[in-house]
Structure 1
């Protein structure tokens, strides 16, 4: 396994993991703001960006890939910050390796089984012929037939890039085939283990990803949990309210 990463700052290590269909750049603003006090390892999650894909693609294997990366960096102990799917991976790491995780921040995701909510996105992505695609605008028009949220289409198009020579055409900066095949594994609940360390859930007040009925599954696994809600923010809370998000992270990590 290869994990692509950027390093920012100096201090105690903090591994930052983005969500589904993203790359390390998605949380770079947050990482830069925290890098004055922490050494940030801003990674491309497995099957995303320039990182390789574990086989099969499961939360457990993604977590083990990040732990292998931590070994390669000589990190015996570190904190974690993960958003959405990155939060699920971060939770799995903490559940698997209690002693190695100093503190855990989970942004707008719970350790529960989710219903499929990305089928329209997968259909839209698969409807684009990357070999014949002429430009980004054409891709946007195709995606817009399946996705009515311009923010989501804009987010996805950030991962559309020209294929490297000698290949022609375009490519996605995520392993679309593997993510589609492994999707049901990624929306499963996390392992039924426990993590006793300090855990913070940051929730978007307008989001429906972390609900009151998820409380039992959270506290059963993460007994030392606190919760912060960012009002007037949705699932992309770190992008919508970065100042509030950064302050909450900084206060908890300190």
Structure 2
């Protein structure tokens, strides 16, 4: 069920979200692209046992903007959505940039969070991470959104999966995208590079599963290990399937999330 919601007690812009299934509540937070539809294969599986909510980040897709892009704004949008739905406590699964949102929720609204899953995300950018995103930003600015998107696919998906699911017989048509979309994506890159609360992660008390992929070229698995070292109640799970493992291995991924939440939900 696709809906829009806002919190009437706060001057919050409408948020486009999708609600599936019944049971304990699990909120799915997408990565840099910010679109709730990223989660569709995983959400369909998990909704057999959980009340799953996914959403478009503020200013992305069907959701109205709420000022400048920031991790804090996305986290507040989650809380507003939960308030509008009358949900007091929930578990949260954040992928990539969404993992920063999940960390912010655990730090700033711990009483609302039942358990936490951090997927293909990081505690703080290292030099490799910053250089990679600096390169992606240059591609965005000089070649446009289309080339930026193709580069993200080449980095984010395993070669065999890319060849079977995304590759075409001709060279990709990457000369698309307008100035407004380019500016929004650049702002969101700056948002993730500017966010870091690594020194605070030790106070997260929720049971936490940290999922990473051995073949992730965007957020290598050592970031999962770094997160686990900083969080006293965390365990790690190493999969394969590239940065976008929820898309490339949805059944295996969803099963791991389900089993963790059953133990700690």
Fold equivalence (TM over 0.5): yes
| Per-residue deviation, 1:181 | 3.0
In structure 1, the residue matched to 2:214 is 205
Q: Kindly indicate whether the alpha-carbon contact (under 8 Å) linking 2:214 and 2:220 is maintained by their aligned counterparts in 1.
A: no
In structure 2, the residue matched to 1:195 is 204
Aligned pairs for 1:102-113 (under 5 A) are 102-113=114-125
| 2:261 aligned with 1:253 | yes
| 2:40 aligned with 1:40 | no
Q: Is the partner of 2:251 in helix, strand or coil?
A: helix
In structure 1, the residue matched to 2:251 is 243
Aligned pairs for 1:149-160 (under 5 A) are 149-150=153-154
| Per-residue deviation, 1:80 | 0.6
Q: How many Å separate the matches in 2 of 1:5 and 1:14? A: 13
Instruction: Tell me the TM-score normalized by structure 1.
Output: 0.76
CA 1:248–1:207: 2 relative to 1, 3 Å: same
Aligned pairs for 1:55-134 (under 5 A) are 55-113=67-125, 114-126=129-141
Q: Which has the higher helix share?
A: 2
Query: Which sits farther off after the overlay, 202-211 or 241-250?
Result: 202-211
Report how many residues are paired.
227
Q: Kindly indicate whether the alpha-carbon contact (under 8 Å) linking 1:59 and 1:92 is maintained by their aligned counterparts in 2.
A: yes
Give structure 2 stretches of 5+ with no counterpart: 1-12, 167-175
Give the root-mean-square deviation of aligned CA atoms: 3.2
Give structure 1 stretches of 5+ with no counterpart: 130-138, 157-169
In structure 2, the residue matched to 1:54 is 66
In structure 2, the residue matched to 1:147 is 151
Q: Is the partner of 2:209 in helix, strand or coil?
A: strand
Instruction: Tell me the TM-score normalized by structure 2.
Output: 0.73
| Per-residue deviation, 1:127 | 5.5
